[in-house]
Structure 1
Amino acid sequence: MPQFSRRQFLVGTGVLSALGVAGASVITWDELQQRAVTTPLAAGSGILVVLTLYGGNDGISTVIPYADNAYHDARPELSYRPEEVLHLDDQLGFNPALKGLSGLWRDRTLAIVRGVGYPEPDHSHFRSMDIWQTASPDEPVQTGWIGRWLDATGDDPVRAVNIGPVLPQLALGAKHTAAALDPASAPLSDDLAAVLSGLAAADASDSPARARVCTGYQAEQTVRQTFSSLKSPGKTAANPLTAQLDLVAQCVKAGVPTRVYSVSLGGFDTHADERHTQEQLLGRLDEAVTAFLKDLSTHPRGRDVVLMAYSEFGRRVAANASQGTDHGTAGPVFLAGASVAGGFHGDEPSLTDLDNGDLKVTVDFRDVYHELLHRVLATDPTPVVGSGRRDLGLLSA
């Protein structure tokens, strides 16, 4: 008899369509109950927040090689003058929009991993993001790296939560998926809530297939019962990333038994008028991340949280004719949190020794994942990222 996942059951029976979301176990604000009280996350358990910057953030205009003449030559009008950047050392500086992250750098709670990418880069948004989210650069696979972690570590449906109604590829496993929490969703009607409760009730006469369906609905109930103590966000925040991270902070402080949260910010495909657009987006990133970490800094669980921010690729070194940049390869990955080993990690890619106009990768992204799985989630990374990977020293002892 075929095996069916919770997600397949819910989609196949139309429940998720009624909820307005496809492909995930769904949480809504008004359905939150007592899981954080009944089964709180154990003290000291690592919590990973994965922040995806969709569109291909320009790493060269984020961590700026202001002292390199090759940078100014490649971008005569797009480049930042040395006095405009927030100096990190005598060679590199932050985009002026990243004032908060600059403070984290000074506090040694921000790590910048330089030159991160994967072998034989692909300039397609879709294929490159698929590679980052599945951690499989050699061949396409259906499961994401967090999904495989879910498959390997149990069946609690709230171990990973995506903030938003659409699950990213990284959250899909063969047997389990992350839950989806949509702050904008409407509450369930009493009638639909009653139907879900009825479908979750076990019966001794159930066939094996019906028992699996029942298990799926029980998982759905568990998800909805987990977040009872959290408050509705009320009005939508002007910064969508701030709203997402505010929700994550509430969950962390409440003791919700979630180990991985996924959030996102889009719009980084800056083929034209890059300077203005990217500064606005980096400002949102800066505002949201620094407020999130400040909020958690005085909470007992704050030290358990590590945030990783990445994008599917960087941009080409030379500016284009529209004062933007085209799809590139390597870019920086940021890790932030009290347990992070602040500073630079990985080699800075050369701006002159290029691969057909692109930066050469100096750090394999799977090594970043390896350390997060090993050090934050306390799990064996091999089933997720394969053998031959290693920690990079991104987290302090």
Structure 2
Amino acid sequence: MVASLGLSAAFVVFGASSTLASVFARIVVTPVRNHAEDVEVLAVIDGDDGTRVILSADSETTAPGTYSLTFDGGASCARIGRIVSFDPRDGTVEREVEHVYSGDLHAAARGRFTGFVYPTPQDAGFDAVDVEVPVENGTAPAWRVDPPAAEDGTPRAGDGMWAIMVHGRGARRNEGIRAVRSAQKLGMTSLLVSYRNDGDAPDAEDGRYGLGTTEWHDVQSAIRYALDQGAEDVVLFGWSMGGAVALQCVDRSELAHRVRAIVLTGPVVDWIDVLKYQAGLKRIPEAVGLVGRWLLSNRAGRLVTGLAAPVDLKSLNWVARAEQLRVPTLIMHSEDDDYVPVGPSMELAERNPDLVRFVRFTRARHTKEWNVDRRKWDHTARGWLRAVLNATRPGAAR
């Protein structure tokens, strides 16, 4: 009887663990379309010196810099500026409202504090053109932003090149608007792209993220589009999972030789590490997390994950593959990133110091390095790119 009860209990535990692992694996590859609005909008104050908003205080809303507050289920957006006051005792923070792009902020009760600052390039003051990039299942919308002519006619390091901006998981192409001015200063045309399952581009047939192993095809299509439009070469910019996409592109694409450099912000350079970390945050037992990763990376897990093909997690581990990275890469990553740990970014740079440069940020959490210190982000990116793009490429004619 005791043995029978023990066996039954074991089956129950096994079943519960398998279910948890299945849910974890499926969530990882399921596109994020609706984001939780977890910030309380407590008051909106109009004064002679402008509008201010009082929000519930947390690590995001009390960070320095400029952000967006989306509300009305993501349909409305306001640009939020500096902190006016912060009282940890009552858990509130008061910040400037720089601009309300859409919606009635006075009527909002909750919102989402997020890193993109401008809903469209036009909102940032850029003249953008809507273009369509041919991809496998149709066309993917993108924004093209050309640079102004050099003021004094002096050649710029990026003249004739295109910067292809690759957003992260659950984000959209407006994430890359923050980098456009830096690209313009170097003389580069910016192409802010969409890719499969992001809500703008055509979905993949399985409707699942490939964590970079499938999305790179759409970035390759963007590179081909840029080259067809006259680009001499390209630079890839990537945020979060967009970093994983960019790295897969330079690893697998037939056009990889046209990528002169990669600029990554808060990138996923090792999905195995990220999945372990995320499982720990959710208090998922290590063994259950291991089963979840197995489901993602094996054909037997397809019925659970919905993936058309398993994800090769080993190919997404650039710490282990450091010596295989052959494109100059800049990584800007905050030490307090609470979604993608900074450790693998640092280790990748340590293992391939000739090609990878790591620059540490603080208080930026996940992919908000530009928001917290845009001057540092801009100077770092432009300074590094200027040096890389002006250098003679290996094998190039002298």
Return the TM-score normalized by structure 1: 0.30
Whose relative contact order is higher, 1 or 2, with alpha carbons under 8 Å and at least 6 apart?
A: 1
Q: Hey, which of these two has a bigger chunk of strand by percent?
A: 2
Return the TM-score normalized by structure 2: 0.30
